[in-house]
Amino acid sequence: MTGLFATKSINTLLSETTDDKNSLKRTLTRWNLISLGIGAIIGAGIFVLTGQAAANYAGPAVVLSFVVAGIACAFAGLCYAEFASMIPIAGSAYTYAYATLGEFIAWIIGWDLILEYLFGASTVAVGWSGYVVSFFKDFGIVIPASLSSAPFYYDAATGVWSATGSFINFPAVFIVAVVTTLLVLGIKESANFNNAIVLVKVIVILLFIAFGVNYIVPENLTPFIPANTGAFGHFGWSGIFRAAGVIFFAYIGFDAVSTAAQESLNPQKDMPWAILGSLAICTVLYILVGLVMTGIVSYTHLNDPAPVAVAVNTAGEGMAWLRMPIKIGAIAGLSSVILVMLMGQPRIFFSMSRDGLLPKSFGKVHPKFKTPYITTIVTGSVALVVSGIFPIGILGELVSIGTLLAFVLVCAGILVLRYKRPDIHRPFKTPFFPAVPILGVLSSLGVMATLPGDTWLRLILWMAIGIVIYFAYSRNHSKIRNIKS
């Protein structure tokens, strides 16, 4: 049983990056990495969840909910930054766990991250499909529901699956296929594409903030914290914290930056900047958008799939010109999230293959493009199928709980490694130790506790499948276990 918790030395991890034949190409600058972080974070959260959280839970105080969620993410972000500077190779939380908590925990977190990255990409692809269908409809081009929605529907209240009559969500399948192809062709090309679409969506958001300020009605912001209705989580301070749990999904993705560490030109210095910088920039943008949105239109009218568009329409003709750019910005925003999610998962598979926990073919690098092309194609193919047939609701819950579990393990890893290996060189140190990692563990567990019981059952089932695979294949093929034996 002790072999289950065998750790991989940091020197061994770093030495593996010098294999020129099967190493990833270092091309990413600090700004590429920050852009990847912003690209992963700004998406469905700012364009969808802000309005729903304000309307149902917090009112104008959704601004404070973003602060609470941002602080919770900052705890995890600081721990990720220390690990990324100390172990700057592909694999993210999986690699960190292998160096601190042992092989079995590393496998668990690697298997868990599939829920965040692979299912995250599928979730956002479904949202992308909805915006694209609406965009084409404005030009008189109607994509039938049979080709733009999931063939299955899940009723969360009854737990019953039913057929919708649709054939496939073709737009979602299309965008996954395009992004997968781009990622196979090269990380630099993918980063340049991401830079362009991040610029588009940030400009759109800044335009909304800059011009929307002029249409704020002070009465809409009072009371800033609506009185609690008598039920926990429905407005008042409890509503602020409930809304923080809901919009936590809006912050998912900043950790994906760490999966590109092995392709960064100067990972020790640039990874902390990218992780914390992208998180800070997005938190400020979220707060400003929330303030302007609830100032333009009463929070009671924001329970809409496109709350930013509702605010623009409420402002009248003065902001009518922004309607089309908002949709373009949303489509661009979701596109970059899909790209970063589909970039992260193959690099985790790549690292797991190098350790023998997955088949050797998963560790192959394309001889020309220097990308993990087999794992990229496998990830894209599975995401393509999932996004084409499953509804967005059930996918989103799986993504949230998978991400939060990863945060818990990364923060715990920092606690373990500080005490076990205080001698390791750390270019960046998590401040206020041990308070920050402890708060990171507690805040992530707290948000997990707000998720539905069915989501926990699916997580347990997913982990059970992963454990079976580990003992049936991975444990017997582990390189570190074979070396020590």
**Can you tell me the distance from the alpha carbon of 76 to that of 81, in angstroms, rounded to the nearest whole number?**
9
Give the containing element (helix H, strand E) for 34: helix 30-41
**Can you tell me the distance from the alpha carbon of 284 to that of 291, in angstroms, rounded to the nearest whole number?**
11
> Is residue 252 one of the residues assigned to a domain?
yes
Q: What is the pTM of this model?
A: 0.79
Structural domains in the chain (count): 1
- Tokens representing 437 are 């990692």
> Is residue 46 one of the residues assigned to a domain?
yes
**Can you tell me the distance from the alpha carbon of 284 to that of 429, in angstroms, rounded to the nearest whole number?**
24
> Is residue 8 one of the residues assigned to a domain?
no
> Is residue 10 one of the residues assigned to a domain?
no
Domain hosting residue 77, numbered range: 18-484
Which pLDDT tens digits describe the chain residue by residue (485 residues)?
Answer: 556 777 777 777 766 655 555 566 777 888 888 888 888 788 766 776 788 788 888 899 999 998 888 888 889 888 988 888 887 776 577 888 888 788 898 899 888 888 778 888 887 888 788 778 878 887 899 989 888 888 877 665 566 777 878 889 999 999 999 999 988 887 777 777 778 888 888 898 999 999 999 999 999 998 999 998 888 778 898 888 888 877 776 777 777 777 777 778 887 788 888 888 888 898 899 999 999 999 999 999 887 766 887 888 888 888 888 888 888 888 887 888 888 888 888 888 888 888 889 998 888 888 887 888 898 999 999 999 988 887 766 666 677 788 888 888 889 989 988 988 888 888 888 999 999 999 999 988 887 887 777 778 888 999 999 999 999 999 888 877 655 54
Beta strand residue intervals within 36-125, DSSP E: none
Beta-carbon contacts of residue 145 (< 8 Å; ≥ 6 apart):
166
**Can you tell me the distance from the alpha carbon of 372 to that of 185, in angstroms, rounded to the nearest whole number?**
10
The CATH code of the domain that includes 452 is 1.20.1740.10
* DSSP string for 339-405: HHHHHHHHHHHHHHHHTTSS-GGGG---TTT-S-HHHHHHHHHHHHHHHHHS-HHHHHHHHHHHHHH
**Can you tell me the distance from the alpha carbon of 334 to that of 54, in angstroms, rounded to the nearest whole number?**
21
> Is residue 9 one of the residues assigned to a domain?
no
Task: List beta partners, residue 155.
Answer: 160
> Is residue 5 one of the residues assigned to a domain?
no
Give the containing element (helix H, strand E) for 153: strand 152-155
> Is residue 201 one of the residues assigned to a domain?
yes
